[in-house]
Amino acid sequence: MFLVFGLLFAPITAYVYALDQQDLAKANLPVTAIRDLVVGLIAKINGTIEAPTQVVLDLVGIGDSASWRPSPFNVSDSTGPVAVDATPLNGSSSYRVIERGLHDDDWWNGDPISVIGEVRARPNGTAYVVAQYIARSPTLFYRPSFATPILAAFGIGALAATAVIGYVNVRRKTLHRQNEPQFPFKIHAADVCRDCGAALPEGTLFCPSCGRPTGMKARPSATGTGGTTVSLPTLRLERRFSERSPAERAGVILFGIFLPAVLLVAGAWLALGPYGLGRATLYLLIFGVVIAGVVGRDYLTRETVVLSPDRIETRRPWKTVVVDPAEVDLVLTMHRKRRSVHMLLTRGDEFVGFGPGVSPQDFEKGREWLRGFAAQRGLEYKDVDVREAIQLIYRRTKKTRRFPR
């Protein structure tokens, strides 16, 4: 989740930062006196509005539909006047293009103004300026924004959290593997109560300390030292999109394919269309790509679960999770409404779960394998609803904290 947030906010931050730098460059552009204007160059002029009408830049509409409607005007400084053609800005709604005026956002005759634009010449040789950006003063083309540092903090914080969590997980697993031989409560055919941690003699049906049923059975002859599951077959279960429930398939098609397609098409259409939105449509493109990536990663990519006596693993295109069968201390099937999931958890907090996307036949094969695995390990196979599963995991977590590795 943190990685997704980091990848989402990083390009948005870069985009907003680039806009701020463009505005800063406009503010730092030197002012050119009107008498020194050179045809063919981009210049910044600063002066006073002179016009035959009172309102020269009228903000029409309300809310998101508000846009500028310019009228002809001149700008005059101490060296003389020059005509300004603002018609290319007709319909613009961005404050980065035209800053809000002093009179309920409108611009009036006599107001101070700064204009950045291209200097052109009329057929008679008279110079005029084609406006590209308008502000109240030469430095107000740029205003420090809180958006950039906030977005940067979110992006950097999310990426830093991803790195820290990844390091902590790797470090914890490394320490667990190093210290596991000295761990006093290592599981050997469930010789420790999963609730209170009391030692259980082999074949004990009830914990002598707390009285909880252990589910322990006599070890089958096929069980090796320490409960090694030498007689279990190797199962290979594939997760397929076609085996998902109708509601899940409909949700993936709607939110993972149709919605991103709409966002991408709309973003491209608005960016290339005559609406003047420009790079602002990058947000639509980013959200479209992120949504498609997240949904596709969880539902459309291939996943293989391999259950064998010596190795339990989940293989995905971007990651493979491997669990040592000798470390498993909790085997259960969890149900919630119409969804069921098989789960195996270890003392080192490693986890393998599978179910949604697996065919009903393979799901039942997985159930039988887990039952056999639990019996040979001396564990109690649990078939519970989600509430009881959470309680089991919670009690197990508390016990692990009481007896740290």
CA gap 391, 405 in Å, rounded: 22
pLDDT tens track for 116-136 = 999 999 988 899 999 999 999
Domain spans of the chain, in order of start: 1-17+144-182, 30-135, 183-234+308-402, 243-299
Q: Which residue has the higher pLDDT, 351 or 127?
A: 127
Which segments of 277-358 are extended strands (E)? 303-307, 312-315, 320-323, 328-336, 339-346, 351-354
CA gap 50, 381 in Å, rounded: 87
Q: Which residue has the higher pLDDT, 60 or 196?
A: 60
Q: pTM for the whole thing? A: 0.46
pLDDT at 181 over 80: no
Is 345 within 8 Å of 393 (Cβ atoms)?
Answer: yes
Which has the closest alpha carbon to 134: 118, 119, 114?
114
Instruction: Look up the CATH number of domain 30-135.
Output: 2.40.50.200
| Element counts in the chain: helices (H) and strands (E) | 7, 16
pLDDT at 396 over 80: no
CA gap 271, 268 in Å, rounded: 5
